[in-house]
Chain A
């Protein structure tokens, strides 16, 4: 996988950029889930949050690959 995002000539690994994006999404998602009350269905909330982060990161990585943002 080729991963590079250029920000003003500074090339960052795209995984880093995706991880930041995934973190932001997870923060929002966890607020939403707390609002809905979905956390009542799980046993240990921090573990689920970490798992959600990984899932969203994987999703973002495969999505950006599919749409050809980076091969």
Chain B
């Protein structure tokens, strides 16, 4: 009796331990592999590439590296004297055109008073001269407007609220029109982008609450899913020169889930959090059952975050 029961009991004990272990393993697996979280998240911001519309020597630089600038603040000035000269020249052209026009008008009027003593051809020529001179005056006026626009464009101003970064511009540098002079990180566009495996996407919906932790910072940021990227590049095919598609012939044993950018809007962050574009973040999308107790009320953002993300 005991001979049969003892091994049976042993197997029962063994198997129950194993079953328990399998249950724990499944729970761990789900925790780590299917919950929507990623360590591959980054703080992102739009970067404005500031370039002058007119070329020339940099006369003065009004900002320091890493300085916060408001929309409309002066960044730097390009060769103002030269464009001021151009404006003066345009003024002179206007005066010249005006003088020509007046003279043409006077001649026409005089010839008209003489009546039949002047040939019809001369009358016609006079009318044409007045019209040409009037057109030349209009052209000169337009040229002056352009010159005045150029003068205004010699002062380059910030187009967003942001921080000038990696500034390497000095008075005396030469800048061509359209050549990038500095970068301004748009602080209103700061957000977190989490690159989620496509296998986890079905757990992620627009509006879901998210918890963000920056690398090296123990405190959590709160946010929500703002949007999910509409597309990523297809690495299996590309277009060729003759407009035909080149598709990679592959048969992979091991396939990797691709990463889809999910844009997270930061709702609340601890005071003093340094949201620096490019920082690494770990993003967890909270599931509906986790969201209810965790969200009492949207609290006002701390003062340090006034230049926080927009929308």
Q: Are A42 and B213 in contact (CB under 8 A)?
A: no
Residue of B20, B21, B37, B282 with most chain A CB atoms under a 10 A cut-off = B21
What residues of chain B lie closer than 8 Å to A15, measured between beta carbons?
Answer: 28, 32
Measured in the bound complex, the distance between the Cα atoms of B25 and A33 in whole Å is 22
Least Cβ distance of B36 to chain A in Å? 11
Residue of B10, B18, B35, B213 with most chain A CB atoms under a 10 A cut-off = B18
Residues 32-71 of chain A, each 1 if its beta carbon lies under 8 Å from chain B, else 0: 0000000001111001101111110111010000000001
Q: How many A-B residue pairs have CB under 8 A?
A: 70
Measured in the bound complex, the distance between the Cα atoms of B13 and A44 in whole Å is 10
Q: How many of chain A's residues touch chain B, expressed as a range?
A: 20 to 34
Closest B residue by C-beta to A9: B216
What residues of chain A lie closer than 8 Å to B37, measured between beta carbons?
Answer: 1-2
Partner of B21, one of A6, A11, A42, A52: A52
What residues of chain B lie closer than 8 Å to A43, measured between beta carbons?
Answer: 7, 10-11, 13-14
Measured in the bound complex, the distance between the Cα atoms of B11 and A47 in whole Å is 11
Closest B residue by C-beta to A40: B10
Q: Are A50 and B21 in contact (CB under 8 A)?
A: yes
Q: Are B211 and A61 in contact (CB under 8 A)?
A: no
Partner of A71, one of B20, B22, B39, B211: B211
Binding site secondary structure of chain B: helix
Q: Are B28 and A61 in contact (CB under 8 A)?
A: yes
What residues of chain A lie closer than 8 Å to B35, measured between beta carbons?
Answer: 1
Measured in the bound complex, the distance between the Cα atoms of B139 and A64 in whole Å is 78
Closest B residue by C-beta to A50: B21
Measured in the bound complex, the distance between the Cα atoms of B222 and A71 in whole Å is 14
Q: Are A41 and B13 in contact (CB under 8 A)?
A: yes
Measured in the bound complex, the distance between the Cα atoms of B13 and A48 in whole Å is 9
Measured in the bound complex, the distance between the Cα atoms of B37 and A23 in whole Å is 26
Measured in the bound complex, the distance between the Cα atoms of B15 and A43 in whole Å is 9
Measured in the bound complex, the distance between the Cα atoms of B215 and A4 in whole Å is 9
Assess A42 versus B10: contact at CB under 8 Å? Given A50-B21, A54-B24, A71-B211. yes
Partner of B220, one of A52, A61, A71: A71
Q: Are A51 and B13 in contact (CB under 8 A)?
A: no
8 CB < 8 A contacts A-B: A41-B10, A47-B14, A47-B18, A50-B21, A51-B17, A51-B21, A54-B28, A57-B24
**Residues of A participating in the B interface, judged by any CB pair closer than 8 Å:** 1-4, 6, 11, 13, 15, 41-44, 47-48, 50-55, 57-59, 61, 71
Q: What 10 A-B pairs are tightest by C-beta distance, nearest first?
A: A58-B24, A51-B21, A54-B21, A43-B10, A43-B11, A43-B14, A42-B14, A51-B17, A51-B18, A2-B282
